[in-house]
Structure 1
Amino acid sequence: MKQTGWILLIVLFGVGISSGQPKLSLNKPVVDLGTIYSGMKKQGKIVLRNIGTDTLRIYSVQPSCGCTTVKQPKSFLLPSESDVVELEFNSTGYHGTVEKHVNIVTNDPLAQNVTVTLSAVVKEDLESISHSSLLWLGNIVQGKTLVQNAGYKNISGRRIKINKFTTSSSSISVRLDKKVLNPNDTLQIQVSVKAEKPGYGSESFTLETDSKNQPRIEMRASFVCIKEK
């Protein structure tokens, strides 16, 4: 009888130990960043809480792409403890409804991999006529210059002035056909890129406007520099 009591005590003690486990709780599965203009950065946050009875270990918090940055939380949370993951989404190059994701890996046996969705509606005053912020130039022979056209349409309903433009280096130059765009006007841009080094290359130019919604617009020109045969 005494032996049976000891066995029962050991079993109960083992159950008590095994019943303690971490449990991740999120304040929301979707972070709605609302409506923003292309080129703006918008911040959001996720609150992580350990509602379990053992230490919650946070192994990683990773965004799905480089447009989103995260401030890493504490590496572990004690029971009832919480921490905040700060997020920042860079809307440059995006338009329309955008969804990005942040993956959270923990030791919660029921939520080892959890995905949080970031959503935003990205608007534009000046819309790329190619609907892209990337200008693909293809192959350029080393030492040669390739010229290609790009453009933006004023869809704001207001007059917009291009104050100035800047380029990433002396290897790229741009020429604008106008500096003032009335509603529905299209700005034509001649882009010239000289390929210097073999391999993949990328240059960019930035327009600075008097639009409060979209004061800076960046377009990237990418290419592959090849040696002349």
Structure 2
Amino acid sequence: MKKLVLLALITVVGFTAQAQQAKISFKAETIDYGTIAKGSDGVRVFEFTNVGDGPLIISDVKSSCGCTVPKKPEGPIAPGAVGKIEVKYDTNRVGPIRKTVTVYSNADQPIKALKIKGEVLPDGQSVVN
């Protein structure tokens, strides 16, 4: 009897948790900086929408190295609302950009990897070349 009650409780809790689930949909999962000059503005934004029916909470955003600094939204994102994750790359580092930004949330897919790419040219090289 105890097992039956426990199974019923777990089933009810499972359906309740599933009833209001946040779901994140990014406008783009990769940001291409293109070819940029050293010292250029390194700030870009990943825009997303909570397409689920529960509040979306971004608990953490981490980058694959210290040259990329992500900034997460502070509060919950309501269903249907748009949010932004700001990413700042250190454009004083010359060479190719290939970095990953990992988003941790309460969404149906709790870990999401986003990418940034591009190339920072050395001083004296033109972006137009």
- Taking structure 2 as the reference length, the TM-score comes to 0.75
* Aligned counterpart, 1:39: 39
Tell me, in whole angstroms, the C-alpha distance in 2 between the residues paired with 1:65 and 1:115. Answer: 14
Q: Please tell me whether residue 114 in structure 1 is matched to residue 100 in structure 2.
A: no
Contact 2:94–2:122 (CA under 8 A) maintained in structure 1 = no
Offset from partner CA, 1:75-119 (integer Å, 9 cap, x none) = 311111111112221122331x3211111001113x111111011
Q: Which runs of 4+ in 1 moved over 4 A?
A: 14-17
What number of residue pairs does the alignment pair up? 116
Offset from partner CA, 1:186-218 (integer Å, 9 cap, x none) = xxxxxxxxxxxxxxxxxxxxxxxxxx98xxxxx
- Taking structure 1 as the reference length, the TM-score comes to 0.45
Letter of the 2:101 counterpart: V
* Aligned counterpart, 2:56: 56
* Aligned counterpart, 2:78: 78
Letter of the 2:99 counterpart: K
Tell me, in whole angstroms, the C-alpha distance in 2 between the residues paired with 1:121 and 1:61. Answer: 23
3-state SS of 2:31 partner:
strand
* Aligned counterpart, 2:67: 67
Letter of the 2:114 counterpart: V
Contact 1:58–1:107 (CA under 8 A) maintained in structure 2 = yes
Structure 1 residue 25 displacement after superposition = 0.8
Letter of the 2:87 counterpart: L
Which is richer in strand?
1
Offset from partner CA, 1:159-204 (integer Å, 9 cap, x none) = xxxxxxxxxxxxxxxxxxxxxxxxxxxxxxxxxxxxxxxxxxxxxx
Letter of the 2:117 counterpart: S
Which is richer in helix?
2
Structure 1 residue 15 displacement after superposition = 4.8
Letter of the 1:100 counterpart: K
TM alignment of 1:90-169, pairs within 5 A: 90-95=90-95, 97-109=96-108, 111-125=109-123, 156=125
Letter of the 1:124 counterpart: P
Q: Which runs of 5+ in 1 are unaligned?
A: 1-10, 127-155, 157-211, 214-229
Tell me, in whole angstroms, the C-alpha distance in 1 between the residues paired with 2:30 and 2:122. Answer: 24
Structure 1 residue 44 displacement after superposition = 0.9
Select the structure with the greater relative contact order (CA < 8 A; seq sep ≥ 6).
2
Contact 2:23–2:50 (CA under 8 A) maintained in structure 1 = yes
3-state SS of 2:48 partner:
strand
Structure 1 residue 67 displacement after superposition = 1.2
Contact 1:74–1:83 (CA under 8 A) maintained in structure 2 = no
Contact 2:58–2:72 (CA under 8 A) maintained in structure 1 = no
Contact 1:59–1:75 (CA under 8 A) maintained in structure 2 = no
